[in-house]
A = this chain, B = another copy of it.
Amino acid sequence: MCELLGMSANVPTDICFSFKGLRERGGHTGPHKDGWGVAFYEDKGVCIFKDPQPSYESEIARLISDYPIKSKAVIAHVRQANRGKVAMANTHPFSRELWGRNWTYAHNGQLHGYQSLPFERYTPVGTTDSERAFCYLLSELEKRFPNGPGKRVSAFNHLKKLSNKLREFGIFNMLITDGEYLLAFCSTKLQWITRRAPFGIAHLSDVDVDIDFAKETTPHDVVTIIATEPLTANEQWHKMQPGEAQLFRFGEPI
């Protein structure tokens, strides 16, 4: 299995604190040592760092957890391989362009019979069930809205339906974003928390690190973090139910 991490924020925000926790689960406090990746958006542009090495040992992951890269939309993933060998081509997040926007996605779970999932415009590069499902999702989106959706929310509503269908193939927890909207879909486990003023102190579960968000933010900041398991020990996270989808935009659940 794997672990997911996502962020949606109304101001460019770094993810150092949360990523520091996730990174530990990639070979130290967790078994997810078969690669890691993180996508940072700056408006419609995206930069995706990925590495088939364990995040806990990766020099690049160390930089990401120390160096504040600010973004309003982030998707990260640590991998424990089941379908597809340990390789760059099988490392999440995956990304493709559709309607002139970069779509980025990561998956936690395992699918059966996924070889029958049709894809048209998008062809998998690697050999994972996850990328195959991503190609299916985007190919179906493009078929449903060949000229783009009138409202972008319609595309995400269609993704919810498709994701629910993918549950028939196994476990399908996932995060997908176009850089502005971020959809979280829960098949078995996914939790989220929205932080806003008054901000408090948070303590990571996986490593002895505290942060006082009041010192790092302004009173107008709204930041949502989504994760497979809560990353902090002293906060109340919202636990999603199987089949539940939640869309976020600029930090707010919508």
Q: How far is the CB of A200 from chain B (nearest CB, A)?
A: 29
Could you say which residues of chain B place their CB within 8 Å of the CB of A89?
42-45
Residue-wise, chain A 18-45 has the 8 Å CB interface mask toward B (1 for contact) of: 0000000000000000000000011111
Q: Which residues of A contact B (CB under 8 A)?
A: 41-52, 59-60, 63, 67, 87-91, 96-97, 99-102, 121-126
**A48-B47, A59-B67 known; A100+B88 contact, CB < 8 A:** no
Could you say which residues of chain B place their CB within 8 Å of the CB of A63?
59-60, 63
B123 near A99 (CB under 8 angstroms)? yes
Q: 20 interchain pairs (CB within 8 A)?
A: A42-B52, A42-B87, A42-B89, A43-B89, A44-B125, A44-B126, A45-B91, A45-B125, A47-B51, A49-B49, A59-B63, A60-B63, A60-B67, A63-B63, A96-B96, A97-B123, A97-B125, A99-B123, A102-B125, A121-B121
> Complex Cα distance A48/B126, Å?
16
Q: How far is the CB of A77 from chain B (nearest CB, A)?
A: 13
> Complex Cα distance A96/B44, Å?
15
Instruction: Identify 14 new A-B residue pairs, CB closer than 8 A, beyond the known A60-B63, A99-B123.
Output: A41-B88, A42-B87, A43-B88, A43-B89, A45-B89, A45-B90, A47-B88, A59-B63, A59-B67, A96-B96, A97-B122, A97-B123, A102-B125, A121-B121
Q: How far is the CB of A148 from chain B (nearest CB, A)?
A: 9
Could you say which residues of chain B place their CB within 8 Å of the CB of A42?
52, 87-89
B96 near A124 (CB under 8 angstroms)? no
Q: How far is the CB of A13 from chain B (nearest CB, A)?
A: 16
Could you say which residues of chain B place their CB within 8 Å of the CB of A43?
87-89
